[in-house]
Amino acid sequence: MDTFTGLMHGFAVALTLKNVLFCFIGCLLGTVVGILPGLGPAATIALLLPLSFNLDPASGIIMLTGIYYGAKYGGSTTSILLNMPGESSSVVTCIDGYQMAKKGRAGAALGIAAIASFIAGTVGIVALTLLAPQVARVALSFGPPEYCALMVLGLSLATVLSGPSLLKGALALLIGLTLAGVGTDLFTSTSRFTFGRPELIAGLDFVIIAIGIFALAEVFANLENRETAQLLPIPRGFRNLLPSWAELRQCRFAFLNGSVTGFVVGVLPGAGSAIASFLAYGIEKAVSKHPEKFGTGVPEGLAAPEGANNADTGGALIPLLTLGIPGGGTTAILLTALIVWGVRPGPLMMIESPDVFWGLVASMYLGNVMLLLLNLPLVPLFSQLLRVPGWLLGPIIFGLATIGAYSVAFRTFDLWLLLGFSLLGFVLTKARMPLAPLILGFVLGDMLERSLRQSLMMSDGSLWIFAERGLTVTLLVLAVLVLAGSRLSSLKRSRAAAMTEAG
């Protein structure tokens, strides 16, 4: 079916009473998750993943994706009112958003954030609708060598763009790839890394790893933080949440900048909304007539990164749905959910599972409107969630995590695994090692191994097959250039820091 027909079919799926309800639940939960500091969308989706297994694939993915992009809306509230980003993508929002709030423009700042999120989110969804079928057509020509090279490129980007240290990103990726090797060999059925434990023959369960690495590790990390931030007052009344026409005129190009930058960066596997937000803010400051005012509470300094943060969602879903390549921790969890439901993400997904693919795309249009209606008039109500003490929130999350992990297979052994991975996540967080490469390495490990070994079987064990195909060579060269460019940038930063200290 063509794009228009597919989208109409998607609206027929998304506008059923059941799916509208699940879309609303996802958006509402996502908003709450975004507002509460320390509990990101990846952790929440991981917690709710076992509960969604009883839903049909279309309803389940609509709800989980609603949490994904809903959390991006809600994250601005914490950043603007508390100067406390709930996750890395909201860091840039703090710079000018909190300064606007300190000047008594908290309502306008929240309004600009919601409007920027709506505009950029809509642009991202439209671009997803138009480009996803084209990407899928190209991907139909992919064989095992192309998929292997594509995943190498995706893992390279994830390693490089997940933090300033290439070494830490690579180590996290290797941990994930090692964990993916636990279980039974894909081709010989030989047990690997099971240490004599029959519970490990089927491999490690992604839900347990995700809950431990993201949710419980965050709980442990937040227990150390005893500082309390002061919540700035929020103007009452819907009219006081709306920015002035002058402020909206100032933001008109920032809305466009954030929309385009966020979507383009979101398409890159491993880039993430944090990179998109920083890049959009940098572009906006570079082209501004008054760059010296950025950081003092200018509206466009808030609109650009907040828009990029939301447009990133539409871009990130393109490689996930059309290529089966997640771009970050949250999309990796969504990939796992689709696989558990028996849906195969890739170029044939819109043909084999049109209800899931087009239902998800159509639900995002609906969810974007829901989030605008939720986040403007109900901000004063949602902001009261920031007053929930950590000593109360932590045990609730811990209880949900334990129930979610145990419900996977109803084994006590899984609870020990959960504890082990939560401690691993806590240690990695303390060492400032990125978690996204670990999750991506685990999710893509089987796919990478399968495509690599299939390629070698096609060529009787010769690596020359990767040099015979133009697209494969192009993707591998890009992966090498990405890693080399990151290494050069790191060396330049080290030399500049050394020169600064010497001078």
Q: Is 315 left (phi over 0), alpha (psi -120 to 50) or beta?
A: alpha
Please give the pLDDT value at position 19: 93
Cα Dmax for the chain: 71
Choose between 494 and 437: higher pLDDT: 437
Q: What is the pLDDT of residue 234?
A: 60
188 versus 260: the higher-pLDDT residue is 260
pLDDT, residue 71, reads: 80
The pLDDT score that the predictor gives to residue 150 is 78
pLDDT of 359: 92
Whether 195 has a pLDDT exceeding 80, the answer reads: yes
What DSSP state is assigned to residue 112? H
Asked if residue 23 lies in contact with residue 367, where contact means CB atoms within 8 angstroms, the answer is yes
Express each pLDDT in 86-137 by its tens digit.
Answer: 565 676 787 788 888 888 777 788 888 888 888 988 888 898 888 888 877 7
More confident residue, 388 or 266: 266
What's at 426, amino acid-wise? F
Q: What is the pLDDT of residue 11?
A: 93
Ranges 31-45, 169-183, 359-373: which has the least confidence: 31-45
Residue 362 CB neighbours (<10 A): 25
pLDDT attached to residue 8: 92
Q: What is the pLDDT of residue 96?
A: 85
DSSP 120-135: HHHHHHHHHHHHHHHH
Cα-Cα-Cα-Cα dihedral sign, residues 317, 323, 324, 329: negative
Across 269-287, average pLDDT: 73
pLDDT tens per residue, range 123-175: 888 988 888 888 777 766 778 888 788 778 777 766 665 556 778 888 888 99
> Which bin fits 468, alpha (ψ -120 to 50), beta or left (φ > 0)?
alpha
Average pLDDT over residues 271-285: 75
% residues pLDDT > 90 (the chain): 9
Whether residue 382 is predicted with pLDDT greater than 70 in this model: the reply is no
Cβ-Cβ contacts under 8 Å for 411 (sequence gap 6 or more)? 199
pLDDT for the residue 204: 87
pLDDT in tens, 53-78: 788 899 999 998 888 888 877 777 77
pLDDT band with cut points at 50, 70 and 90 for residue 18? very high
Tell the burial category of 166 from Cβ atoms under 10 Å away from its Cβ (0-12, 13-18, 19+): middle
- pLDDT value of residue 14: 92
Residues 6+ apart with CB under 8 A from 344: 324, 338, 352, 353
Q: What's the mean per-residue pLDDT of the chain?
A: 80
- Are 445 and 176 a contacting pair, CB within 8 Å? yes
Residue 229: pLDDT over 60: no
Average pLDDT over residues 414-435: 88
What is the C-alpha to C-alpha distance for residues 276 and 159, in angstroms, rounded to an integer? 16
What is the pLDDT, as a whole number, of residue 12?
93
Q: Output the pLDDT for position 389.
A: 66
Query: Backbone dihedral region of 54: left (phi > 0), alpha (psi from -120 to 50 degrees) or beta?
Result: alpha
Q: Residues near 399 by Cβ (< 8 Å), separated by ≥ 6?
A: none
493 or 266, which is more confident?
266
Q: Does the CA dihedral 97-37-309-365 come out positive or negative? A: negative
**pLDDT above 80: residue 225:** no
User: What does the pLDDT look like over 436-480, one tens digit per residue?
Assistant: 678 778 877 887 888 889 999 988 888 888 888 888 898 889 888
Q: In this structure, what token pair is assigned to residue 271?
A: 């880039």
Task: State residue 121's pLDDT score.
Answer: 86
DSSP conformational letter for 37: T
